[in-house]
Amino acid sequence: MFRAILIEKSGDEQSVSLRDLPDERLPEGDVLVRVSASTLNYKDALAITGRGAVVREFPMVPGIDFAGVVEASGHKGFSPGDQVVLNGWGLGESRWGGLAELSRVSGDWLIPLPVAFTPMRAMAMGTAGYTAALAVMALERHGVTPAKGPVLVTGAGGGVGGVALMLLHARGYRVIASTGRVQEADYLRGLGADEIMDRAELDVPARSLARERWAGAIDSVGGQTLANACAGAGQDGVVAACGLAGSMGFPASVAPFILRGVTLAGINSVYRPIADRMAAWAMLERHVDIAKLAAMTRRIGLEDVIGAAGDLLDGRVRGRLVVDIAQNG
């Protein structure tokens, strides 16, 4: 038997509970992992509360990422005792995810746990940190450098935003942090922000073009915020879009793209090749300040996940929620 958060649906009614399940319920896969830690991500919270159409098959164990130890393997790349990390690949959507004591998955989706991280530290970054690293990689791949100007980070108080602040600061960028919680200014400066912007400045109908204010942007909000991030980008600026915490819409003009050569780079963290995943985790390993990471992290147990999901969606959570799977309430 193993404990897991289980989402079920009968007709139009969804229910969610912490359950004891027999091992035989685990899906097919060639690697069995004893999960040490997972996280509560925005997408997980949408799935658990039913506020978003995230889950594609029921019943479903949510949790889009995990770190743990291989218990059994039929995959040539992994052996019992190996510590591993998994992000994405449809976990928590179409495949059972990491908010459980056991997970059976394809070994092709796993990467080795980076040497510098414990499972808890890896999940303190989790998919949010991994996505932030992919976004920074996209900016730099398209030519954004510290010399070209500052980088805007929207949703800076969230998981993606917080890690993005640390990565950009460590790589020499001047960073503008946009947040709806300006009272958190000292916290955000501690992570690497040089300037704090009230998100209200970006949460207005976007002009076709605005004053050039940043060379790049990492946006996890979407909607008018993303449109304004593009409108305020300078010549050959780059905006990495990696989330929709505000809206899935994009009420923008083509002007930034055809008059300033702005690039809108989409970040799909779910189905990245292994090489990209390894590069993103290597960036996190090099640049994330463990003490700062700890300051933006709160540890909870499996029994706390359901209640915390609503708090996360309602903006009552700062930084990261790491789920200690072995913790008993």
Instruction: Summarize the confidence of residues 136-159 as an average pLDDT.
Output: 96
My answer on whether 148 and 261 are in the same domain is yes
177's CB contacts (< 8 A; 6+ apart) are 153, 156, 161, 165, 188, 193, 195, 196, 197
- Shared domain check, 143 and 248: yes
Is residue 145 one of the residues assigned to a domain? yes
Report if residue 279 sits inside a domain: no
Q: Are residues 152 and 94 in the same domain?
A: no
Q: What is the pLDDT of residue 279?
A: 96
Give the pLDDT of residue 159: 84
Residue 14 lies in a domain: yes
Please say whether the dihedral angle defined by the alpha carbons of residues 320, 110, 268 and 92, taken in this order, is positive or negative.
negative
User: 329: pLDDT confidence band, cut at 50, 70 and 90?
Assistant: very low
Q: Does residue 195 fall inside a structural domain? A: yes
Give tens-digit pLDDT for 206-238: 999 999 999 999 999 999 999 999 999 999 999
| Residue 253 shares a structural domain with residue 302 | no
Q: Are residues 257 and 175 in the same domain?
A: yes
Residue 103 three-state SS: strand
* Residues 250 and 141 reside in one and the same domain: yes
> Does 184 share its domain with 220?
yes
pLDDT tier for residue 35 given thresholds of 50, 70 and 90: very high
Q: Cβ neighbours of residue 259 under 8 Å, at least 6 residues apart?
A: 209
Please answer whether residues 8 and 14 qualify as being in contact, where contact means their C-beta atoms are separated by less than 8 angstroms.
yes
Q: What is the CATH number of the domain that holds 318?
A: 3.90.180.10
Quick check: is 57 in a domain?
yes
**Residue 328 scores a pLDDT above 70:** no
Q: What is the pLDDT of residues 195-208, one digit of tens each?
A: 999 999 999 999 99
Three-state secondary-structure class, residue 309: helix
Torsion (CA) 208, 263, 202, 51 in degrees, nearest 10:
120
Asked if 213 and 174 touch (Cβ cutoff 8 Å), the reply is no
| Residue 201 main-chain phi, psi, to 5 deg | -65, -25
Classify residue 20: in a domain, yes or no. Answer: yes
pLDDT at residue 292, as a whole number: 86
Same-domain status, 43 and 89: yes
Q: What is the domain count for the chain? A: 2
Q: Residue holding tokens 């998955």?
A: 105
Give dist(CA 283, CA 287) in Å, integer.
Answer: 6
Q: Is residue 82 part of a domain?
A: yes
Same domain, residue pair 141 and 258: yes
Q: Is the domain of 65 the same as that of 92?
A: yes
| Tokens, residue 196 | 């704090």
- For residue 215, the one-letter residue type is A
- Rounded mean pLDDT of the chain? 94
Q: Is the pLDDT of residue 65 over 70?
A: yes
| 266, 281, 309 - which closes a domain | 266
Residues 138 and 45 in one domain: no
Burial track 32-62 (b if 16+ CB lie within 10 A, e otherwise): bbbbbbbbbbbbbbbbbbbeeebbeeebbbb
Residues 100 and 168 in one domain: no
Q: Percentage helix, strand, coil, to 5, in the chain?
A: 35, 30, 40
Q: What is the pLDDT of residue 70?
A: 98
For residue 212, being part of any structural domain is answered with yes
CATH number where 229 lies = 3.40.50.720
Phi, psi (degrees; rounded to nearest 5) at 153: -120, 115
Express each pLDDT in 161-174 by its tens digit.
Answer: 999 999 999 999 99
- What are the helix (H) ranges across the chain? 42-49, 119-141, 159-170, 185-191, 223-231, 255-259, 274-287, 290-295, 305-313
Backbone angles phi, psi at 31, to 5 degrees: -135, 125
Q: Residues 143, 235: contact at Cβ < 8 Å?
A: no
pLDDT value of position 77: 95
**In this model, does residue 42 exceed pLDDT 60?**
yes
Q: How does DSSP assign 179-228, residue by residue?
A: ES-GGGHHHHHHHT-SEEEEGGGTSSPPPSS----EEEEEESS-HHHHHH
Domain, as residue range, for 153: 128-266
Choose the final residue of a domain: 266, 284, 310.
Answer: 266
